[in-house]
């Protein structure tokens, strides 16, 4: 099928969001140095700690997705409110330094999830749908890489295909057996895949926050950029899903790869 001119413009806009330079490129301007050097300010043992914090944050976000998101309409200003809350949370984290990440990140992640859900709703998604709620969670895997990636495996559609089966299996298991415990294999696989990518962006955020002299104002700015990143990923992702519902996944995918 051929997209209308308006829908083609929407697809190109979505692609520009989903394939744009990652979070590290934007944070470079905040830290005022080549971003690789920012990682030198992280303590040696923080890599494992950040992975644990990222996983814990996603687990809390999953609980929110499954239990408290609903389909009620919300105002367009909600995303601005979510950004304000995330910025305030980042300011607290910046004031108290890197150790505050364990407290700040879970709160920020839940705030971001609610913003992602509002974006999904604005693109015609049914937030009461379990599959949509899990799709909101997978936004945290977009715009990041894992240690197993090469260039061909880190683009939007590569990640989307990777996650599709895991989302389907998790949704099927939950629909059959109801809300389940953390150890459910289907959810473990989904969380592990999302966390492997989310952990990368969290590490970048933590490295920027660890640079001396940034303080509370720097922490707030970093969280604003962090929030922008995932709002952009969500907008692009749910535009693509909206177009796929209208034109079919195969047609949209083909046009996506041909689009500038």
- Counting as low any pLDDT under 70, the low residues of the chain are 1, 70-99, 144-154, 178-183, 213-219
Closest among 54, 65, 23, 75 to 224, alpha carbons compared: 23
Give the phi and the psi of residue 100 in degrees, each rounded to 5.
-70, -10
Rounded Cα distance between 204 and 224, Å, is 14
Full DSSP string of 143-155 = T---TT--GGGSS
3-state secondary structure 76-109: CCHHHHHHHHHHHHHHHHHHHCHHHHHHHHHHHH
Global confidence as pTM: 0.84
The string over 234-249, giving b where at least 16 C-beta atoms fall within 10 Å of a residue's C-beta and e elsewhere, is: bbbbbbbbbbeeebee
For position 2, what pLDDT does the model report?
Answer: 87
Decide: helix, strand or coil at residue 18. helix
Tell me the CB-side half-sphere exposure of residue 124, using CA atoms within 13 A. Answer: 10
Q: Which tokens in the block code for residue 228?
A: 């922008």
Q: What is the pLDDT of residues 71-115, one digit of tens each?
A: 565 544 455 554 444 444 544 444 445 567 788 888 888 888 988
Compute the distance between CA of residue 91 and CA of residue 81 in angstroms, rounded to an integer: 15
Q: Hey, how many other C-beta atoms are within 10 angstroms of the C-beta on 186?
A: 18
CA distances from 148 to 53, 73, 95, 253 (A): 21, 39, 35, 24
Helix 215-247 and helix 249-258: axis angle, to 10°? 120
């Amino acid at each position: 099928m051929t997209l209308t001119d308006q829908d083609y413009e929407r697809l190109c806009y979505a692609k520009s969001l989903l394939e744009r330079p990652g979070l590290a490129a934007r944070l470079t301007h905040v830290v005022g140095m080549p971003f690789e050097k920012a990682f030198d300010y992280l303590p040696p043992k923080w890599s494992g700690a950040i992975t644990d914090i990222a996983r814990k944050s996603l687990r809390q976000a999953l609980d929110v997705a499954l239990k408290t998101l609903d389909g009620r309409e919300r105002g367009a200003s909600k995303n601005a409110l979510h950004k304000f809350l995330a910025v305030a949370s980042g300011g607290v984290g910046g004031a108290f330094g890197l150790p505050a990440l364990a407290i700040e990140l879970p709160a920020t992640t839940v705030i971001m999830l609610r913003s992602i859900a509002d974006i999904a709703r604005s693109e015609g998604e049914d937030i009461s749908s379990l599959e949509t709620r899990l799709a909101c969670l997978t936004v945290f895997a977009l715009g990041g890489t894992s240690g197993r990636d090469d260039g061909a495996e880190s683009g939007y559609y590569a990640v989307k295909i990777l996650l599709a089966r895991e989302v389907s299996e998790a949704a099927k298991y939950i629909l059959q057996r109801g809300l389940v415990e953390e150890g459910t294999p289907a959810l473990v696989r989904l969380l592990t895949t999302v966390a492997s990518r989310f952990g990368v962006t969290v590490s970048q955020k933590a490295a920027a926050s660890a640079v001396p002299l940034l303080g509370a104002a720097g922490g707030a700015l970093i969280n604003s950029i962090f929030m922008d990143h995932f709002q952009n990923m969500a907008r692009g992702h749910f535009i693509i899903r909206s177009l796929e519902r209208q034109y079919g996944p195969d047609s949209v995918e083909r046009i996506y790869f041909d689009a500038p």
